Structure 1
Amino acid sequence: MEKKNTETGKKDKSNGLMIKIATFIVDRRNLFFLLFAIGIIFSLISSKWVKVENSLAAYLPDTTETRIGLDLMEDQFTTYGTAKVMVTNINKETADEIADRLEEDPDISMLTYDDSSDHFNNFSALYDITFVYLEDDDRALEALEKVKQDLDGYDIYVSTSMGDAAAEQINKEMQVVSIIVAIIVLSVLIFTSQTYAEVPVLILTFGASAILSAGTNFLMGTISFVSDSVTIVLQLALSVDYAVIFCNRYKEEHQLLDIREADIVALSKSIPEISSSCMTTVGGLLAMMLMQYGIGSDMAVCLIKAIFFSLMSVFLLMPGLLMIFGPLMDKTKHKNFVPKISFVGKMDYRTRHIMPVLFLAVVAAAFFLQNKCPYVYGYSLLETPVKNDTQIADERIRESFGENNFVALLVPAGSYDTEKKMLKDLESRTEVDHCVGLSNTEAMDGYMLTDKLTAREFSELLDLDYEEAQLLYTAYAVNDENYAKLVNGLSSYSIPLIDIIMFLYDEVEEGYVSLDDDMYDTLKDAHDQMKIAQDQLQGEDYSRMLVYLNLPQEGDETFAFLDEMHKVAGSYYPDGNVIIVGEPTSQYDLNKTFDRDNIVVSVGSILIVLAVLLFTFMSAGMPVLLIAVIQGAIWINFAFPTIQKTNIFFMSELIVSSIQMGANIDYAIVISGRFNELRDKMPKKEAIIETLNFAFPTIVTSGSMMALAGVFIGQLSSDGAISGIGQCLGRGTIISIFLVMFVLPQILLIGEKVIEKTSFKVSVPIKLDRGRGLMQVDGFVRGQVNGMVVGEMHAVVRGEVNALVSLGKMTPLSSDMEAELPEELKMINYDPEDVSGEKTEDRKGGTDNV
């Protein structure tokens, strides 16, 4: 008994503080209603300010080749709006007519279409369109919409990187998922509730936290489309436990106390309990912030912020809602729909020596299989349950004309001849289909853009007077400060075609050279086409070339050839920086970061959760057993893709493993914590049966929500990353629930001695306060009081009470409540005839024990 007093005595001051905090929150509920109302109104407005990043490559580390290349291209080059338009079910004559119509469109600067099978095949025509507007210019989208309208009546498929069509589609899909999940949540809450009126309390609490979380995303500047899409659903799945724990605690306290007092006491007990529970979830999310790949930090911050607002809603808003709905909750009680699962506990006890062995065997096999999990780093090898319009268009174009897999090769500018030699070298390799650069792009009459022409050749090309051409070349040499050519003569002086055309056009525009109308029109057409090519392929410091590959977007062969391209280009530019940018490079960079991130996230989440559990259970053995079960669930989860031979997006493993370790382990904590309480009070069999009956409602509430939320995200999203996260989360949660219900109890039963021997609970002697006469007592009290008591009291008394109770009530407890009493009261045998207050081995009673 003294040991029990020692262990509980340390909580006295903290409990007293919690009571004061809880009383303030409950009694000042109107203030918090006002603050939440203001915050919700602001969040509804500010949610429109959130900027969403739709590119996964944007979250690559700044040191990766892709990020360096993307930043360089944005600084050095101009990217015009482009689109691939495929018209199906037409003959060649109709295809040519459509091409003529498109060429007349003033918004189209370049149309690529010819008689080859690359542009007409199987009664389908493919038009590569380049608009006169930049890629991020809204007029480019308007021009594309105009093309669609002009082709109205034909079967067309459009593929373009312009606009946010994919993001808009994802938002629509997630709205559907949110509605379905909301219906599921409502159904689960009704099923697991004990009163119908508690459901609106839970819904209002979560709704407030969700709105506040979404409305503060603008503080992050920009969030990823993944975070924007799944945060609200994952927030519900991760944090609904908090409101359920508080509500259940309130109903428990309300059996003895009135609404206000039950609210206060329940909140005072729930704050530390819920705060401790959320630590493992936050710990798992913190591990995601250790990833090099920035989307991990992005999602972690969004989810941690969401959990914070969930806690604030439970602690500050929900107590007031319980005060409002409390009377209605009393009137709407119904029978418990959640069944007892005593049969599971009995089965677990009978199989306590079998299941752990089977678990070890399965986990060992799962560990081997998950190491061979077919991870992919792009969308080209992924299959999603549903497809959006963009995916359907890309698929149809790919079926008819094959896949265009290309990369942009950036090399130091300055030498057209070197570029030409390098492109020729690359085109000679079987892995390369063809290359596009200034040096191998035809301009006029068979001349390439960078071919050098003498004054005579140039005059013949444009039908320009030779003397005028000589004067033009002279002006170019002076402008270029190439005076040696003037001295040695202009007859052998040659200038790249693109450079002399650009120079001549500028001279005409500035009025130094006059041309007739026909000549000017020819020059202007040539200039406009060359300017578009120059803007896209020639920068101030770098030249850009497109290399089309005969390889898939990702894979060992593709990644090996990217390294080979570096060697080839490096041999032509030994002193320069060669950069390759494109989907293959992005996926190669992700492949490089994944190995490191996977280890860091796995080890980080285990260590953080382990630290939390060590202080929760004050035992080294218990955390290891719990983590072993959840880590086993993670390995089994990611063994499934290997067994099913289904590709999985790499990000799914990084994010879901963190969430599984941080959130699903709560289920194991509920069971192990309850078993720890009961194992010394009753036989082990009854303890494990009672534990599972106690834990099942909590696990089925939270677990079913997370599992179903994951399943619906996985089945209804057309985005490979989002769908993969949903599928893995849903499957992983189901596996975790199964293991904590059918494997963990057996492990706890046979590992009981390990838990006891590795316990490091320390009992610190405490000083009992004693006094006689007139005294004021403040704080949580446990002990004996003999005398007149005046004040507010929340206690269980074994003894005799003669007092006036106001603003509350005194309720006799039945013998059925005996098991729930503190150990000190169980050890006291009260004799109403004995009022001596003495406590001996045979006679304990006579005084009020508080």
Structure 2
Amino acid sequence: MSNSIMRKIAKFIVEKHIIIMLLFVVLVIYSALSISKVRVNDDITALLPPKTATRRGLTVMENEFTAFASANVMVSNITCEKAAELAENLREIENVATVSFDDSSEHYASSSALFTVAFSAESEDERAIDALEQIKDSLSDYEVSVSTTVGQDYVKQLAGEITQVLILALIVIAAVLLFTSKSYFEVIILFIVFAVAAVLNMGTNYWLREISSITNSIAIILQLALAIDYAIIFCHRFQDEYDRQRNVKSALTDSLAYSIIEISSSSLTTISGLVALMLMQFRLGYDLGLVLTKGIICSMLTVFLLMPGLIMLFHKALLKTRHKNLVPNITGWGRLLSKKVPVFLIIFAFLLPAAIVFSAKCEYTFSDSETDRITLSEQDRIKAHIYNTFDETNMIAVLVPVGDYTKEKALISEVNGFPGIRSALGLASIEIEEGRVLTDPYTARAASELLGVDIETAKLLYALYGYEHDSFQPILGDSDAFAVPLIDMLEFLFEAKDRGMITLDDDKEQMVESMRGTLDDALVQLRGEHYSRIVFNAAVPVEGEESVALIENIESSARKLYSENGKTELSEDAIIVIGDITSAKDLEDSFRMDNNRVSFLTIAFVFIVLLFTFRSLGAAVLLILVIQSSIWLNFSFPYITGTNLFFVTYLIVSAIQMGATIDYAIVLYNRFQLRKQDYAPKQAMAIAVNESFSTILTSGTIMTAAGFIIALRTTDLYISSIGLTLGRGALISVILVLTVLPQVLLVGNKLIEKTMIDFKKLLGGGADEQEKLDETK
């Protein structure tokens, strides 16, 4: 019944191929126009679970504060005195807010000076970009290294790298397809099909709210590696059917009907792994899993609907350019694997325990700075050069309730005494004069001396302030004792001037406007509607017990201070501490849950698909065992080579490797079961290895090559790590499937047969028994 339905569907597609092709033209145009509208987010912290402190804190900062750009500028081979002169020159550059430099080891070491520059504009702002260019011009006579995000278009840079990766991958894939194809023109049809599927997938990303830059970059390569098999299966099936029938339409109809079932079944294991990935707390898994699942669906629909029309159009070229099979016959290798002594299985049995132990010892990292990089960008090299001379510091932002300057000052004073804290920046730390900060209370006389205005004007200003704020002490009481935080008085001064309540001469006017600009820059960065922000610089690593303890101590001190030693109850969001350290800690916590969840669900989903596909408990267990072993072997390499691995690489690659490379094992198992109908198990296996070799070689080589090219040609930490590990995993899976799996299946052949399950009988058994009972009556 199902075959009859599939043939009707296939016949309809073949007969209506012109209409379907026109529909695809419309879809491709729509998708191509939509690609530029896709929102791409290059902030990986946006993918953190929303309940984490880091995500909550970042949301607050995005809503309440402005983050101005900064740069670390290192000048080598210079004296400290000359560096001090350069610092003064840099401060004169327009839109440079501050330049931090002194003779401490934080700023001068090994005849090198490190200037910490803060701009009065954001990273993408032309003012910051122009200021950075002026800094470079002013230091052009020196050996300079500049580490900054100013003017750095990360998404554009990554897009350029991925374009190179795609070109190289297509060259390799073309070579592989030419080698394993049956017709030269077949390669052109395959590339057309893939191009259409890729455009459809990229264009429909517009339907999603936004996608991560990581997904945006590697989805097209992974879609190619995961789904190009579908087009190959259909194309080869058509050519086989045409050789048998010698009729294009009939061959297309039969081959399509068969391929819809085969390809849909094959895709289920891959989709299973991707669905498990989508259940990660860290939303990169959901993001990548969703886009790749959509990509596989786009690929299948393109193969089922568009490819028959392409073959109808180009069948003459397809058939005229057929060539002899270039894939070597490896039946002899299959016979070797079928000998009495399963050498590879014995080796595998020794390697497996070590792989399990070594993979469990793989060191995972949760931050950029702690992860071993495969390739370095120019900015990575500059950072490494700077941090080889100066200690790397990490910023810790503390968000506290707005308005209590006394507590802010007390908190800054307390935290400055913690080990590792180098500096602090907050409204209550901006020094106005020796021993006095911006938030300290000033009397009218002290303010007049600081601001350079006469005492009468200052007293008038204070009286106006008291009147506006319902405080009559400066009017009716002791005006000399009335003190107001300087920051509040300055804001009132600007307001009073704007309202015409006071007038100033030209010199004072210019000074006040200069102060207004400086204060406004500070306020947008450090004071929001509900929170004040205090930023500490700490010379501690991003990961480790020392860093976590520092974060906990800072939060504890803040909560103790603002709750007045527990007298006032504070909500979870009253005090928020965030930074790279908290981000790494949150990612580590999510990994503990995601690791077990993704691993278990991937295996469970794939197991269920295999069980219902092959109807053998033993077959499902053996196939999964071999592929899971390839995953263990894959993640043993970091431990063996003494390198670490970014945690998300493990979660993504283990799910994709299980879901995708299990297909290699399925191809071999299917051929083995088919040939067992006519041959003894050992001879059947020898034939099965040879017949499945071309498919496994094509799929495995494409995924391996794509992974390694991604790793070697992209400088993004996450993408290169995923590429290397996926490429290595695909290669290991191919090796195990062509060496160990045949011997596992031969040894486990009786187990496979004894654990066969007849689902129809199992589900319908009750009805059969009832029928027998009725007959006896």
TM-score scaled to structure 2, two decimals?
0.93
CA distance in 2, matches of 1:612, 1:264: 27
Asked if 1:573 corresponds to 2:562, the answer is yes
Report if the CA contact (8 A) 1:619-1:759 is conserved. Answer: yes
CA distance in 2, matches of 1:304, 1:153: 54
| Bigger Cα Rg | 1
Report if the CA contact (8 A) 1:283-1:605 is conserved. Answer: yes
The alignment partner of 2:374 has SS state of: coil
List per-residue Cα deviations over 1:228-254 (Å, max 9, x = no partner): 110111011100110111111112111
Question: Bigger shift: 751-760 or 589-598?
Answer: 751-760
Question: Bigger shift: 425-434 or 84-93?
Answer: 84-93
Q: Check 1:763–1:721 CA distance in 2 against 1; reply closer, same or farther (3 A cut).
A: closer
Q: For 1:3-82, list aligned pairs within 5 A.
A: 13-82=1-70
Asked if 1:165 corresponds to 2:153, the answer is yes
| Structure 2 partner of 1:583 | 580
The alignment partner of 2:696 has SS state of: helix
CA distance in 1, matches of 2:157, 2:95: 27
* 2:443 paired residue among 450, 454, 461: 454
Asked if 1:698 corresponds to 2:695, the answer is yes
Deviation at 1:506, TM superposition (A): 2.2
List per-residue Cα deviations over 1:340-362 (Å, max 9, x = no partner): 12233223222665544543442
Count of paired positions: 753
Report if the CA contact (8 A) 1:382-1:648 is conserved. Answer: yes
List per-residue Cα deviations over 1:252-297 (Å, max 9, x = no partner): 1111112222111111110111011001101110001110111111
Asked if 1:528 corresponds to 2:514, the answer is no
| Structure 2 partner of 1:364 | 353
Asked if 1:130 corresponds to 2:127, the answer is no
Deviation at 1:562, TM superposition (A): 1.8
Structure 1 unaligned blocks of 5 or more: 1-12, 766-850
* 2:625 paired residue among 620, 623, 628: 628
Q: Which amino acid aligns with 1:266?
A: S
Q: Which amino acid aligns with 2:666?
A: I
Question: Bigger shift: 382-391 or 708-717?
Answer: 382-391
Asked if 1:223 corresponds to 2:208, the answer is no
Q: Check 1:711–1:327 CA distance in 2 against 1; reply closer, same or farther (3 A cut).
A: same
| Structure 1 partner of 2:566 | none
| Structure 2 partner of 1:840 | none
Q: Which amino acid aligns with 2:471?
A: N
| Structure 2 partner of 1:602 | 599
CA distance in 1, matches of 2:743, 2:412: 66
Deviation at 1:704, TM superposition (A): 0.3
Deviation at 1:520, TM superposition (A): 3.2
The alignment partner of 2:121 has SS state of: strand
| Structure 1 partner of 2:491 | 502
CA distance in 2, matches of 1:319, 1:149: 61
TM-score scaled to structure 1, two decimals?
0.85
List per-residue Cα deviations over 1:467-515 (Å, max 9, x = no partner): 3322222222222223466555223222222222222222223221223
* 1:307 paired residue among 293, 296, 299: 296
Greater share of helix: 2
CA distance in 2, matches of 1:16, 1:78: 64
Report if the CA contact (8 A) 1:714-1:726 is conserved. Answer: yes
Q: Check 1:592–1:178 CA distance in 2 against 1; reply closer, same or farther (3 A cut).
A: same
Report if the CA contact (8 A) 1:708-1:730 is conserved. Answer: yes
CA distance in 2, matches of 1:608, 1:41: 36
Q: Which amino acid aligns with 1:712?
A: I
Deviation at 1:315, TM superposition (A): 0.7
Report if the CA contact (8 A) 2:277-2:651 is conserved. Answer: yes
| Structure 2 partner of 1:156 | 144
Question: Bigger shift: 384-393 or 666-675?
Answer: 384-393
Q: For 1:132-211, list aligned pairs within 5 A.
A: 132-149=120-137, 151-152=139-140, 154-211=142-199
CA distance in 2, matches of 1:662, 1:562: 39
Q: Check 1:303–1:61 CA distance in 2 against 1; reply closer, same or farther (3 A cut).
A: same
Q: Which amino acid aligns with 1:179?
A: I
CA distance in 1, matches of 2:692, 2:670: 10
The alignment partner of 2:190 has SS state of: helix
Deviation at 1:430, TM superposition (A): 1.4
Report if the CA contact (8 A) 2:182-2:236 is conserved. Answer: no
| Structure 1 partner of 2:456 | 467
* 1:335 paired residue among 288, 303, 324: 324
Report if the CA contact (8 A) 1:416-1:439 is conserved. Answer: yes
| Structure 1 partner of 2:676 | 679
Q: Check 1:319–1:494 CA distance in 2 against 1; reply closer, same or farther (3 A cut).
A: same
Q: Which amino acid aligns with 2:208?
A: M
Report if the CA contact (8 A) 1:351-1:746 is conserved. Answer: no
- Aligned CA RMSD, in angstroms, stands at 2.2
CA distance in 2, matches of 1:41, 1:352: 59
List per-residue Cα deviations over 1:666-693 (Å, max 9, x = no partner): 0011111111122242122211100100
| Structure 2 partner of 1:118 | 106
CA distance in 2, matches of 1:39, 1:146: 48
* 2:648 paired residue among 631, 651, 672: 651
Q: Check 1:115–1:428 CA distance in 2 against 1; reply closer, same or farther (3 A cut).
A: closer
Q: Which amino acid aligns with 2:726?
A: L
CA distance in 2, matches of 1:502, 1:419: 19
Question: Bigger shift: 283-292 or 380-389?
Answer: 380-389
* 2:337 paired residue among 345, 348, 353: 348
Q: Which amino acid aligns with 1:281?
A: T
| Structure 2 partner of 1:252 | 240
| Structure 2 partner of 1:516 | 505
| Structure 2 partner of 1:717 | 714
Q: Which amino acid aligns with 1:498?
A: I
| Structure 2 partner of 1:728 | 725
Q: For 1:363-382, list aligned pairs within 5 A.
A: 363-382=352-371
CA distance in 2, matches of 1:582, 1:764: 60
CA distance in 1, matches of 2:507, 2:436: 21
CA distance in 1, matches of 2:612, 2:177: 31
CA distance in 2, matches of 1:121, 1:614: 65
Q: Which amino acid aligns with 2:663?
A: D
CA distance in 1, matches of 2:208, 2:160: 23
* 1:393 paired residue among 368, 372, 382: 382
List per-residue Cα deviations over 1:617-648 (Å, max 9, x = no partner): 01222111111111111111111111111111
Q: Which amino acid aligns with 1:608?
A: F
Q: Which amino acid aligns with 1:464?
A: V
Q: Which amino acid aligns with 1:497?
A: L
| Structure 2 partner of 1:427 | 416
Q: Which amino acid aligns with 2:675?
A: L
Deviation at 1:447, TM superposition (A): 2.2
List per-residue Cα deviations over 1:383-414 (Å, max 9, x = no partner): 33322222122222222333121110111123
* 2:686 paired residue among 685, 689, 692: 689
Deviation at 1:142, TM superposition (A): 4.2
Report if the CA contact (8 A) 2:393-2:540 is conserved. Answer: no
Q: For 1:476-495, list aligned pairs within 5 A.
A: 476-483=465-472, 488-495=477-484
Report if the CA contact (8 A) 1:634-1:660 is conserved. Answer: yes
Deviation at 1:328, TM superposition (A): 2.2
Structure 2 unaligned blocks of 5 or more: 564-568, 763-777
Report if the CA contact (8 A) 1:352-1:750 is conserved. Answer: no
CA distance in 2, matches of 1:138, 1:60: 30
List per-residue Cα deviations over 1:92-141 (Å, max 9, x = no partner): 56645544443333322333334444344445443333333344544433
Report if the CA contact (8 A) 1:169-1:388 is conserved. Answer: no
CA distance in 2, matches of 1:497, 1:556: 40
Report if the CA contact (8 A) 2:93-2:134 is conserved. Answer: no
Q: Check 1:724–1:678 CA distance in 2 against 1; reply closer, same or farther (3 A cut).
A: same
Question: Bigger shift: 282-291 or 397-406?
Answer: 397-406
Question: Bigger shift: 749-758 or 74-83?
Answer: 74-83
